[in-house]
A = this chain, B = another copy of it.
Amino acid sequence: FLFHKCFCASTGMACLSCLLEYGTVKIIVIRNKAVGSVFRLIQFLIILYVIGYVCVVRKSYQVKDSVISTVTTKVKGTGFTNISGLGAHVWDVADYNIPPEGESSFFVLTNMIITPNQMQSSCPELPDQSTICMSDSDCTEGSSDVRGNGIQTGLCVNYSETVKTCEVLSWCPLEIDTDLPENPLLAAAENFTVLIKNTVTYPKFNFHKRNILPDVNSSYLKQCEFNRITDPHCPIFRLKDMVAEAEEDFQTMATRGGVLGILIDWSCDLDFPEHYCGPKYSFCRMDNKNPENNVAPGYNFRFAKYYKTTDDVETRTLIKSYGIRFDVIVFGTAGKFNIVPTIVNVGAALTILGLVSPVKSAVLGLGV
């Protein structure tokens, strides 16, 4: 309307004067307690929403930033096994932590099937519907089943006194992985501890902090252990405690392996002093949680240690290793007061307040 008037007016001073005109609506004030109460109630609800939801819950007056994080871990502890074929063996971190370092996860070996002294040679396949044979004609030279253990030589040989299977070229003797120990061999792993060093950065606020808080000194760090009540700031965790916090049993989980999430929450309100911003730890099992859907449970992988015999033949020890992979997941958002989102959100809130006017008119229209 005003624009229209301005376009009609001549340019120059006449237009300037026109720009400084204003139009306003004629307002009639009517005293009606019922409509007035509804009107005030709506205004009250909107102000409540602005203060309660926008300011308190969402903190919309703040600029947000996402965490950038670095994690390093160090496991401590030794275990002892006495497996037939391997003999008495003490396991330390270089033995059970495979691979020796990960970006933000570490693996602790708890159970295993060891097949020592494998060599490249030929041996009968493990008996199976597709590998049991009566004569050489049942076997195909050069064929290789993706679920098998090697390349068939075309011969049918004795697997045991009663069963004949196709012979394969492979690392022999083959691994027999059907008799997994029912109790984890490295049951002592439940008492291993891990030191988690986590440094976070909120680049927008130039905020840096470690999970080893400033009030933690060397001597405390040498003997402390995380406990939600007595030692909530100690960054050293006993494996058993973490698994227990996730409401799992360590020995059960250790038998077939699994994945445990170590969640570190760095959500912070940086309008408060820096020392209120600290890590909050929680733990949960990350792999299958649904007992009804229990196909292919656990976590395991195979690795080998390679040796050479004196006559230069390569041998290896194959280890099918079951264990717990601990994934450290760092997350969080920090917020800090900033004028721009404050203006934007107060503006939006005022807009909604402005809305009450038409609503009021409608109410009035209905009421008259």
Contacts and interface: CB of A to CB of B under 8 A. Distances in A.
Closest 7 CB pairs of A and B: A1-B365, A20-B36, A70-B286, A100-B303, A94-B304, A307-B308, A23-B27
B302 A100 contact: yes
Given A26-B26, A29-B23, A120 B305 contact: no
A18 B292 CA distance: 62
Given A4-B362, A80-B151, A88-B120, 11 more contacts: A3-B362, A22-B36, A22-B364, A25-B28, A70-B327, A78-B149, A92-B149, A92-B171, A199-B259, A210-B290, A351-B354
Interface of A: 1-5, 17, 19-33, 35-37, 39-40, 49, 53, 68, 70, 72, 74, 76-80, 87-90, 92-95, 97-105, 107, 120, 144, 146-151, 169-171, 188, 191-193, 195, 197, 199, 201, 208, 210, 212-214, 216-218, 221-222, 259, 261, 284, 286-290, 292-293, 295-296, 299-310, 315-316, 318, 325, 327, 329, 340, 343-344, 347-348, 350-352, 354-355, 357-358, 360-362, 364-366
A360 to B, nearest CB: 6
Contacts of A4: 362, 365-366
Contacts of A329: 68
A244 to B, nearest CB: 17
Contacts of A171: 90, 92
Contacts of A191: 144, 146
